Structure 1
């Protein structure tokens, strides 16, 4: 991994106090990714500005899971774009390293019939954001889908190559836990990877276990570390943070 890779943890607003205490107690953590669901969360986050600064933490923002870049209803799509622009404006008191998001979801039968249409919706979504807010740092994350009436877009590498080929300003976030559930050859995107979400699971449920507590093998971890990301986020239950940091140190000695 590159020397400047920053090691972080993930947090939501409600457990930010506990997350920052973990960062304070462990100096190897110098990044935090915070999930923001509502604009008013920005006012809550502002109260932590000095604490984040004093801990020398870089900050990433995970946008709401409900956000749907492949939205086919124009009115709703525009509201999501407005949300992202307004959120960025309200977070101007922080130097945000990236905004991370999933690619959205579609009624399964419609997606099967015309996937390219929804991928083009996503391309257009990011083009419209770029026109309104230049240089907004966005990462898009692989996810998983299990079928049913609604399917997630972004559970295979082809979805991302299509989108990233159309937009040079977007980066990729590789999620190891999601890849365990819906495997794909994301190493093809290594030149686009900015963020890695590290967690483990049983290959069926997104359990957010610590590293090597599920199906992830040590050789898999070493391959992930060779992706050379700018940020590694331990996206797992807090109880696994310390043991996972020890595994990281073993596989990535300074």
Structure 2
């Protein structure tokens, strides 16, 4: 299934693309706060949108590896409330980043934090047994000498360890191509061994530009189809702004309604 990403500010434009191209089968909608849910409810209440399939990208600040108790509980309660409020839409899946932690604490005992991520996810899956969760790879520019917060989920081993511990078919991997390009990591073993979906976007390997395909230049449709043919992702999301998404859709020659 091929979908497109949306946030509250461009949801209307992305819905228009959904209605224009029959090969666009769903919208992955990013939620950070309650007003984002209100915007989603507003659009989904319209008769012409009743057939749109939705998936949810949980808040970017969701921190599955938080080790301060009351902050961890607050994180969980917020995510739980989001899932409850959108459950009527029967989302295809929920996507999340793993979060962040102080670099020194993480490197001294990283498996402790992978276990914390697992506990957070398992707690959600116990409360909501019918949902599917995908965890996404990210990137970090952190200097290793720094004591600052580091992003969790930049390396394949983190996901291999998480999925081995979790051993749950409701948990999968979201391969963000753009993030992997910046981080210069090979996630092929994770993708091959676990249920995986794709966030498709490109960049120059220095910043998260969210570039799409182009009719001229190096970013041609060959890049896209080689990935799809090699891995056969469960879901594919064009994680692009409206203009880049439309151009990419046209280059891929997806069918119009």
Q: Structure 1 length as normaliser, TM-score?
A: 0.87
- Cα distance change, pair 203–183 in 1 and its aligned pair in 2 (3 A): same
Secondary structure at 1:8 match in 2: strand
Residues 1:136 and 2:137 are matched in the alignment: no
- Cα distance change, pair 51–190 in 1 and its aligned pair in 2 (3 A): farther
Secondary structure at 1:92 match in 2: helix
Which one of 220, 230, 238 corresponds to residue 234 of structure 1? 238
2:158 aligned partner: 159
2:226 aligned partner: 223
Q: Contact 2:180/2:186 (CA < 8 Å) preserved in 1?
A: no
1:172 aligned partner: 173
Q: Structure 2 length as normaliser, TM-score?
A: 0.87
Secondary structure at 2:138 match in 1: coil
Alignment map for 1:85-234 (pairs within 5 Å): 85-148=80-143, 149-167=148-166, 168=168, 169-188=170-189, 189-211=191-213, 220-226=223-229, 227-234=231-238
Superposition CA RMSD, Å:
2.3
Q: Contact 1:201/1:214 (CA < 8 Å) preserved in 2?
A: no
Offset, 1:32? 0.4
- Cα distance change, pair 141–214 in 1 and its aligned pair in 2 (3 A): farther
Offset, 1:237? 2.0
CA distance in 2, matches of 1:79, 1:135: 23
Offset, 1:69? 0.3
Structure 1 runs not aligned, ≥5 long: 1-5
Offset, 1:199? 0.6
2:61 aligned partner: 66
Q: Contact 1:176/1:200 (CA < 8 Å) preserved in 2?
A: yes
1:244 aligned partner: 248
Secondary structure at 2:34 match in 1: coil
Structure 2 runs not aligned, ≥5 long: none
Q: Contact 2:179/2:208 (CA < 8 Å) preserved in 1?
A: yes
Offset, 1:62? 0.6
